[in-house]
Every structure is written in C-alpha cells, then in structure tokens.
C-alpha cells in the first residue's frame, strides 16, 4: 500500500512537471550502464545477460529519466527466460530524434493488451496483484516521464520478442545525438526460472527506483 501511495504521488508530480527548468545534459549510455551494474546480481540469478548498443547524450531531468529506464529494464529482466538477453539500443532517426529501445525475449504481451499496458493500475494478469507484486503503475510512470520530456513511448510484442521504445525530441544545438556503433555486454552466468509477464518482484519492482551513482 505504501508503495502504491508513493507511486501515485510520483505520478501526480510528473504529470505537472516542468522539465525545462531542470534539464541537464545526460549521458544515456552511462545511465544504462549504471543500471546494469545495479541489476547485475539479480540478472545473474535469473541467467539473464544485459547488452547495450549505442551511445547518446540528451537534455532532460536525470532522475526522472533514470527512473523510467529503471522501470523498463527491471520489467525486461523479469520477463526474460533463463539464457536470454535484455538489449538496450540507443539510436536516432534522420531528424536526429533520440530513440531508446528496451528489448527482451520471452512470453509476449497478448495483442489485446498492448493498447492498455500504460494505463494506470492495468495489468495483463490481474491475479498477480493478490500476490503483492506491484500496483500496476510502473509503465504509467514511464509514460508520464517520457511525455514530460515531450516524447512518446510505444510497445511491440512479436514472435516472443517484446520491445518498449522511447522517442525523444532532438537535443538542443551543440549536444551529441545517439551513436549506434558501440556495444557493451554485462556477462551474467547462472540462472533461475522467469516469471510470466505482468508481475513484479519484491526485490526488484518495476515501480522501484535504484540509486546508482
């Protein structure tokens, strides 16, 4: 209950956020790598590898974007089967808008649920709420943060591969767009069984926020 109240308050704040006054230059690749370091032990336990492709600097609220990326990454790890790889791709379109994709293999999201996964309190499997696995606000928080930065988020789930993709406006003049030519992998030996899509872990909730340096 306390987590749900905290998330609801956070949503109210992001819905009314004025990012412009707090925007700083953010190295997205560095933020993703910090999250890889934070989640590495949990990923190892589940037999999940983490991979980063590309690099990027954008202007935004660092803590807000860190939370959005954390929610997507923890969600992806949770739903990746033993031996699978979660991939974060940083890229840009021809108009230099920034694209951040978080992709994982495993049980997909049924087509009838795709349009509603960002709704508040919506969950693909409602029965999981009774097991104390989150309040169904993690993806709503991600969407609110992305929209506060003038961006959009979409999801696709095809052939047992699910991709959440964030599109953010072109960074101000003088800042570097994304570069897709680098790749970093976090080795993760060993593993455990994965949960079905739609739940949350008490240790690594998609609605929790780590504090990497």
Query: For 159-170, how does the pLDDT look when each residue is reduced to its tens digit (9 = 90+)?
Result: 999 999 999 986
pTM exceeds 0.95: no
- List, for residues 114-132, the tens digit of each pLDDT value: 988 888 766 665 544 444 4
Q: Please give the CATH topology (third level) of the domain spanning 2-186.
A: Heat Shock Protein 90 (3.30.565)
Q: Looking up tokens 């049980």, which residue turns up?
A: 107
Q: How far apart are the first and last CA of the chain?
A: 28
DSSP string of 23-80, one letter each residue: -EEEEHHHHHHHHHHHHHHHHHHHT-EEEEEEE-EEEE-HHHHHHHHHHHHHHHHHTS
Q: Is 18 helix (H, G, I), strand (E, B) or coil?
A: coil
**75: its two tokens:** 């969600």
* DSSP at 99: E
Confidence at residue 143, expressed as pLDDT on a 0 to 100 scale: 93
Give CA–CA dist 46/118, Å, rounded. 26
Give CA–CA dist 99/86, Å, rounded. 16
Judge whether 157 and 109 are in contact, CB under 8 Å.
yes
Half-sphere exposure of 10 (CA within 13 A, CB side): 23
Q: Would you say residue 4 has pLDDT above 70?
A: no
Q: Would you say residue 155 has pLDDT above 90?
A: yes
- List, for residues 75-110, the tens digit of each pLDDT value: 999 999 999 999 999 997 777 789 999 999 998 898
Judge whether 144 and 14 are in contact, CB under 8 Å.
yes
Give CA–CA dist 170/30, Å, rounded. 19
Q: Looking up tokens 């949350």, which residue turns up?
A: 200
């Amino acid at each position: 209950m306390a987590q749900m109240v905290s998330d609801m308050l956070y949503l109210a704040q992001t819905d009314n956020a004025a990012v412009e006054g707090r925007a700083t230059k953010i190295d997205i690749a560095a933020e993703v790598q910090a999250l890889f370091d934070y989640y590495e032990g949990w990923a190892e336990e589940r037999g999940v590898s983490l991979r980063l492709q590309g690099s990027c600097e954008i202007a935004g609220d660092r803590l807000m974007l860190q939370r959005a990326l954390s929610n997507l990454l923890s969600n992806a790890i949770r739903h990746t089967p033993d031996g699978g790889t979660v991939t974060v791709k940083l890229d840009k379109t021809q108009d230099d808008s920034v694209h951040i994709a978080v992709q994982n293999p495993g049980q997909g999201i049924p087509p009838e649920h795709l349009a509603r996964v960002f709704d508040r309190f919506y969950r693909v499997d409602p029965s999981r709420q009774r097991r104390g696995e989150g309040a169904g606000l993690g993806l709503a928080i991600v969407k609110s943060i992305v929209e506060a930065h003038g961006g959009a988020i979409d999801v696709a789930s095809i052939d047992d591969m699910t991709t959440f993709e964030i599109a953010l406006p072109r960074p101000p003049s003088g800042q570097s767009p994304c570069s897709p030519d680098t790749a970093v992998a976090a080795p993760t030996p060993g593993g455990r069984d994965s949960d079905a899509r739609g739940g949350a872990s008490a240790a690594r909730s998609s609605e929790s926020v780590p504090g990497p340096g």
